[in-house]
């Protein structure tokens, strides 16, 4: 049985940040969030909101990890902000070091559709769509691990 994803509408970066902050405020430090959405949809902005909810003080520290592949921030827990934009080969994605991060902190993944393996943890799936007037539709659902 599949639950319908929750839908939030955001009309600005500030609103997106607020939605993400509310979501992450109650997190306990081992959550994994997969972010989906086209270029410019606002995945990094959403990640910034999650980081704010996780207690990162300087939210401008949160920037796109497309080049570095992973940025690490420290809020109440370590936050591993991963971006698979420029990785295409499966072995490179597996090689990133997931085993060092899982259970050690919160993992936020941009371009998560490139992951085709199970991380052994429940996944918060967040999909951001750009609406007709430039507003963002943010769909939120929880997926259990295949291995649980």
The contact set with another protein (CB under 8 A) reads 38-40, 44-45, 60-61, 63-64, 66-72, 85-87, 89, 91-92, 95-97, 134
Nearer to another protein, 135 or 141 (CB): 135
Distances (CA, A) of 45 to 28, 58, 136: 21, 14, 12
**CB under 8 Å, gap of 24 or more: what pairs does 64-68 form?**
64/110, 65/110, 66/110
**Smallest separation (angstroms) from another protein to the CB of 108:** 15
N-to-C CA span, the chain: 16
**Smallest separation (angstroms) from another protein to the CB of 27:** 22
Q: Mention every residue, 6+ apart, whose C-beta is less than 8 A from residue 35.
A: 43, 46, 47, 108, 109, 110, 111, 112, 126, 127, 128
Nearer to another protein, 38 or 118 (CB): 38
Nearer to another protein, 122 or 129 (CB): 129
Nearer to another protein, 65 or 148 (CB): 65
**Smallest separation (angstroms) from another protein to the CB of 52:** 13
**Smallest separation (angstroms) from another protein to the CB of 64:** 5
């Amino acid at each position: 049985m599949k639950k319908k994803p929750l839908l939030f509408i955001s009309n600005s970066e500030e609103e997106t940040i607020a939605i993400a902050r509310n979501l992450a405020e109650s997190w306990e430090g081992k959550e994994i969030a997969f972010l989906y959405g086209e270029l410019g949809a606002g995945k990094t902005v959403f990640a910034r909101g999650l980081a704010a909810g996780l207690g990162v003080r300087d939210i401008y520290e949160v920037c796109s990890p497309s080049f570095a592949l992973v940025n690490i921030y420290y809020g109440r827990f370590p936050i591993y902000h991963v971006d698979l934009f420029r990785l295409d080969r499966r072995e490179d994605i597996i090689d990133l070091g997931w085993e060092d991060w899982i259970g050690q902190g919160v993992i936020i993944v941009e371009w998560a559709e490139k992951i085709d393996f199970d991380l052994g943890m429940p996944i918060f799936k967040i999909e951001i769509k750009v609406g007709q007037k430039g507003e963002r539709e943010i769909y939120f659902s929880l997926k259990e691990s295949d291995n649980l």
